Structures are given as C-alpha cells and as structure tokens.
Structure 1
C-alpha cells in the first residue's frame, strides 16, 4: 500500500470571491493559487454531471485549504450540525485566542466566546460566509 500524506482540506462555497475575502482578510490565510476545472473527466471524478468549478488554494501554515465554487452553485442545503455524523470543521491554531477573538469583525458569527476545555485547550468556533464551522484553538 502507498503511504498517504495530507494535501488539503476542501470546502464548497457559494461565492469564491466572498470566501477568499473571509479566509484571507479575516483569518489571515495567504492565497496560493486560483484556477478553474471542468470537462467530462472532472465531472465523472466528482460524480456531478456537467460539473465545472472555480478553485482557490490558501496556505494555513502547513495545511492547504481548498475553496471550491461549483458552476452552477450547489443546492443550498443546510449543513450538518457539528455533533452529527457527516459534519466537518476546519481547525486553525493561534498563539493568543483571546487577542484573535477580540480582533474578529463584529459581523463574524461565533458559537461562543473563547472557552477552556477539560484538556486545557482554549477553543472558539466561528462560521464562514457559507456556514462552514471553523475552530480556532490555542494549545
């Protein structure tokens, strides 16, 4: 069996420019590349007839975040809650969670203010413009 290594975490978004703005300007991730993919092989590979999509790859300090906006847009179905099977979230680490939280724009939805868990990790969950959950943590 081949050895696996992580390449990216992918998030499907409705508006690529809006998502890039959030991840770049609010979370401070650097945009590595932007590109589009279509064609029969892509549609077959993702299992979506006629699929084409615009992509952006962002640097999250050792992890790559891939934002994907399908053309036409997705079905707009609500996302699973965090505690339900199939739910997902992106985890990003910071040195000072309280300072990060204080610097968040007021219009960024959060689940709570920073909390310290039983393990001693400080966490805060927020939502991106498409409702994806982002956990920001301090170890």
Structure 2
C-alpha cells in the first residue's frame, strides 16, 4: 500500500466567488490555485451525471482548503448542529481568539462570543455565508 498523506479539506459551496471572498477577507487565507474540472472521468469519479466543477484552493498555514462549486448543483442541506452525526466543521487556530472575534467583519454570524472550555482552550464558532461551521481556537 502507498504511504498516505493529507492533501486537502474540502467544502462544497453554492457560490464559489462569495465563499473565496469570505475566507480570504475574514480569515486572511491566500488563494493559491483555481481550476475547473469536467468530463466523463470526473463525473464518474464523483458519481454525478454530467458533473463539472470550479475549484479554489486556499492556504491555511500549510493546510489546503478546497472550495468547490458543482454543476449541476445538488440540493442545499440544512445547517447541522455540531452534535448531529455527520456534522463537520473546519478548525483554524489564531494567536488571540478575542482579537480575532473583535476584527470580524460586520454581519459574520457566530454561535456565541468566545468561550473558555474546561480544558482552558479559548474557542469561537463562526458560520460562513453558506452555513458551514468554522471553529476558531487559540494556537
């Protein structure tokens, strides 16, 4: 068996440009690559008839975050609660959660103000414009 290494964390989005703007402007992530994939092999691999997709890769300090917008677009999912099986979130660390919280652009939804957990970790959960959860925690 080949050696396994992590390549990316992916989020399927409805509006690629809006989501790139959000992650770039709210989190300071750099866009490192953009591309489109289509054709029979791609449609077969993702099991979506006639699929094509636009991609943007963002760099989160060495972790590649892949935003992908599919055509045809699937059904929009409801916002999952964190305690629901299958719920997912992206975790990003910052030097100071409170400073990050204070610097968030107006209108960015959070689940609460920053909190300190029983382990002493300072955390904050943010929803991106499409409802995906992002955990921000002290580095």
Counterpart position of 1:124: 124
The total of aligned residue pairs comes to: 139
SS at match of 1:14: coil
Q: Which residue pairs with 1:68 in the alignment?
A: 68
Residue 5 of structure 2 corresponds to which residue in structure 1? 5
Quote the RMSD (CA, aligned, Å): 1.0
Deviation at 1:21, TM superposition (A): 0.2
Q: 2-side partners of 1:52 and 1:132: how far apart?
A: 22
Assess if the C-alpha contact under 8 Å between 2:96 and 2:138 holds in 1: yes
Question: How far apart are the structure 2 equivalents of 1:7 and 1:68?
Answer: 15
Aligned to 2:38: 38
In the alignment, what sits opposite 1:105? Answer: 105
Does the residue aligned with 1:44 lie in a helix, a strand or coil? helix
Runs of 4 or more off by more than 6 Å in structure 1?
none
Partner Cα distance (2:53, 2:129) in 1: 18
How far, CA to CA, are the matches of 2:41 and 2:14 in structure 1? 22
**Cα offsets for 1:85-113 (capped at 9, x unmatched):** 11100000000111000000120000001
Whole-Å Cα distance in 2 between the matches of residues 116 and 22 of structure 1?
26
> For the residues of structure 2 that align with 1:30 and 1:36, how far apart are their CA atoms?
18
What secondary structure is seen at the aligned counterpart in 2 of 1:126? strand
TM-score normalised by L of structure 1: 0.96
Q: Which runs of 5+ in 2 are unaligned?
A: none
